[in-house]
Every structure is written in C-alpha cells, then in structure tokens.
C-alpha cells in the first residue's frame, strides 16, 4: 500500500505528463489495432477472398463498337450472339470438365398500339425503322432479373412475374410506374403490343405488377423511345417464347438480343473458361467481362486505398509513439537520485523503490492501453465501415489477444526501464556527499 500510495502521489505531482502518457498509449494501441484489422481485411479481400469468388462471365460489345449503335438501323442486330455461338463455348467448358451454371436475358423492340403508348423519345422515328417504341425483355431467372442492365427494380404494386422454367403463364407482364400512369393502367388491366416487323401481329398482355427502379433516378432522355428504360416491359421466358419473340429465323429487329451469363464455381475455372473462349475465337468487337468481379473489385477498392495509407501510418505511429513514451518515462526519472537516496536512508529497500517507479509507469501506460484496446475492439468495425466505403472489417479474436500480449509486453519494458534506474544506484554513493559523487561521475 505504501508503494502504491507513493506512486500515485508522484503521478499526481506530474499530472500533465501522466495524462500525456495515457493519451499516447491510447492512441498507439487504438491506431495499431485499427490499422492492423484494416490491413488484414484488405490482404484477405485481395487474396483468399478474391480467390474464393464464383465469378460471372459475360460476352459484351466493346465500348468502341457500342458507341456506333443506331437504333433506327435494323442491321445492328448482326452484332447479336446466337444460341449456336454460346453453345460452342458451353460445350468447350463441359469438355474441359468445368463446372458452371448459366442464366440469360433476351430482348426485342415491340410496337406501341393505339391504346398503349410509350414515353416519347427526343427524336423518334417510324417503327418500321426502329422495331417499335417499347423493349420487351425476359429474364430466365431471378438472378438475371437482379442483374438487369437497365438497373435493379422493385415491385411497387401487384406481384412479380414467375421465373420458373415450368411456368406456362403467357400473359403476365411488368410495366414501369411511368408507363402505367401515362396509359392509366392498374394491376389486372390488359394492354396490347405489336410485333417489331409486323404491326398487324399483336400480343395481349396483362399487368401483373408495376415496377420502379431502385436507384430512384428519373429516366435519362433518349433519342428513341425504345431506349428509355421506363419503356421496358418484363415478361417470363414462357410468355416471351410462346408469343413468338424467341425467334431463330427472324430478321432485323425481330432477332432477339441474347445475353447469356455463365457463373463459374471457382476462379481457376473462370480463368480456364476465358482461355477456352479465346481459343474458340471471340466474335469481332466483343470482350470478356465479369460483372461480379468488377463489382467485387469496386467494393473492396476503398478498403485497399485505406489499407495502403494505414501501412505507413502504423509504422509512424509505433515509431513515434514508442519514442515519445520512452522519452516521457526518461523524464519521469530525471533528477530523482535524491528521492531514491532519502528513501534508502529511512530504510526503504531498493525493491520497494523499484516497484514504486514501475507502478508510476504501469498505471498510466496500462490505463491508456486498456482504453485504447477497448476503443479498438468496439470502434474498429463502425469506423472502418465509414472509412472503407461500407466494407465491414471484423476484429478477430486472434488480433485482440495479439494486441493484449504485445501491449502488456511494451508496458512491462517501459516499467523495467524505470526499475533499472533504481537498480543502477549504488548504495555507497547514496551516503557520499553530493559534490564528491558528482566529481566521481564526471571523472568516469
């Protein structure tokens, strides 16, 4: 109790130095825990996390080709890939024993009719050139619908269409809020569209649901009505096929725009499939893309940038923080020979004095370390979520225990520095006159 009381009294005499020690220990501990957790998360995301992806694979027109798109020129459909071409790649993958699943979307322009009008474009042309004012699109699965190129959508009225391959629903369709309001349609109403190459061939559909794009953005102005995403009509695959839109013999705009998405079971399978496609010759103007890998890379990019900064910050923090703590400990020992001498003269053992000096170091450093460790343990996840663009960084148990181990070791090292100050005092020098002692020390 005597030792603790003396140590506490010494800390109170130098409260600003004690407070500064607590703050530095806190910052070093928290900063180390936070930076290490983020760096570990980044290394995992770019390493094993990336390798564990099940990538999607799409064949897309290069931007240089897509920029030449003319929605009033039906010869543009020559760029569409057919089932035959996709089957060539799928067969190659199967021959190589690659495991994959697939889904697809198909789309064709369709014409508006007298009682069902599209949102007009800024420079619409005759449907004989454009194929129509609406785009009829089908999704083979929920996954294909979720990856809709025009944007993810949600049903605000009614119900979704069925994506089941066993569905025989030939009339249910989804229309946008904008089109529903323009045509004064509600769930359960029917509307009529016409074939892209034959205005006399019509199809009657029923409004099963009304959708809205999740991003909440108003549709951008387009030259042609069919390119306005609000003019998209979504139907199940059976409805698309049974009504004659999944044509293999159509011409011009009657040829469906087929987009098949393959999902590989591993990164190695993805890389092999890419090689097989290139070997089988990729169509001119096309490139291989992976929407899922691009999305994953975009998601972890803020984390990677943060981790790169923190790698430097961690080194600086440990070096500067450690040096400052050593300096503060050294300052707490300067000019205390007389205090040590007095204590020894009244019979206090060097062991008790050493314990006092060690406690003077341990109390503020352990206190700062404990607060920093708690702040790091509970604050890393929300802070990283904010700083890393929404990426969740977990504080692992191993990192917590590692921090506790190294933190306590650092506190003990600083305490031993204080202890050695007492041990270094020779008992005989305590009883010598100060001037004599100083002369001896100067002559050494």
Q: What is the pLDDT of residues 286-334, one digit of tens each?
A: 999 999 999 999 999 999 999 999 999 999 999 999 999 999 888 888 8
Coil, helix or strand at residue 8: helix
Check residue 286 and give its pLDDT: 95
Name the more confident of 232 and 215: 232
Q: Assign residue 395 a region (left: φ > 0; alpha: ψ between -120 and 50; beta: otherwise).
A: beta
Per the CB < 8 A criterion, the answer to whether 343 and 353 are in contact is yes
Check residue 2 and give its pLDDT: 64
Cβ neighbours of residue 25 closer than 8 Å, sequence gap 6 or more: 321, 325, 364, 365, 366, 367, 368, 369, 372, 411
Per the CB < 8 A criterion, the answer to whether 86 and 260 are in contact is yes
Burial 63-95 (b: 16+ CB within 10 A, else e): eeeeeeeebbebebbebbbeeebbeebbebbee
Whole-model pTM?
A: 0.78
pLDDT above 50: residue 435: no
Angstrom distances, CA of residue 194 to CA of 23, 117, 160, 223, 277: 74, 12, 23, 21, 37
pLDDT above 80: residue 433: no
């Amino acid at each position: 109790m005597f030792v603790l009381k003396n140590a506490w009294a010494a800390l109170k005499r130098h409260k600003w130095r004690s407070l500064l020690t607590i703050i530095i220990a806190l910052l070093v501990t928290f900063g180390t825990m936070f930076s290490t957790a983020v760096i570990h998360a980044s290394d995992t995301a770019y390493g094993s996390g990336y390798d564990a992806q099940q990538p999607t694979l799409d064949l897309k027109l290069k931007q240089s080709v897509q920029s030449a798109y003319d929605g009033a020129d039906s010869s543009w459909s020559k760029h569409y890939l057919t089932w035959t071409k996709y089957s060539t790649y799928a067969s190659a993958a199967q021959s190589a024993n690659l495991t994959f699943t697939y889904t697809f979307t198909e789309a064709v322009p369709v014409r508006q009719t007298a009682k069902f009008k599209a949102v007009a474009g800024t420079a619409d042309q005759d449907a004989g050139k454009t194929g129509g004012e609406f785009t009829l699109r089908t999704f083979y699965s929920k996954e294909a619908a979720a990856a809709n190129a025009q944007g993810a959508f949600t049903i605000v009225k009614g119900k979704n269409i069925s994506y089941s391959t066993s569905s025989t629903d030939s009339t249910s369709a989804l229309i946008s809020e904008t089109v529903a309001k323009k045509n004064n349609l509600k769930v359960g109403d029917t509307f009529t569209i016409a074939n892209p190459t034959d205005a006399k061939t019509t199809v009657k559909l029923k409004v099963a649901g009304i959708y809205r794009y999740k991003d909440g953005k108003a549709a951008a102005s387009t030259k042609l009505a069919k390119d306005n995403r609000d003019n998209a009509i979504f139907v199940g695959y059976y409805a698309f096929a049974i009504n004659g839109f999944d044509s293999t013999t159509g011409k011009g705009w009657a040829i469906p725009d087929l987009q098949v998405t393959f999902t590989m079971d591993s990164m190695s399978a993805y890389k092999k499939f890419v090689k097989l496609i290139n070997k089988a010759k990729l169509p001119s103007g096309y490139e291989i893309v992976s929407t899922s890998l691009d999305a994953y890379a975009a998601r972890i990019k803020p984390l990677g940038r943060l981790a790169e900064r923190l790698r430097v910050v961690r080194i600086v923090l440990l070096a500067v923080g450690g040096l400052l703590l050593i300096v503060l400990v050294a300052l707490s020992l300067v000019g205390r020979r007389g205090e040590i001498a007095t204590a020894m003269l009244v019979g206090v053992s060097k062991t008790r004095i050493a314990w006092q000096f060690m406690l003077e170091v341990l109390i503020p450093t352990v206190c700062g370390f404990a607060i920093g460790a708690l702040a790091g343990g509970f604050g890393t996840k929300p802070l990283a979520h904010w700083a890393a663009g929404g990426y969740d960084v977990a504080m692992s148990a191993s990192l917590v225990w590692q921090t506790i181990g190294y933190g306590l070791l650092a506190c003990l090292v600083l305490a031993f520095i204080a202890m050695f100050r007492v041990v270094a005092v020779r008992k005989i020098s305590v009883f010598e006159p100060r001037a004599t002692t100083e002369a001896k020390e100067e002559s050494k």
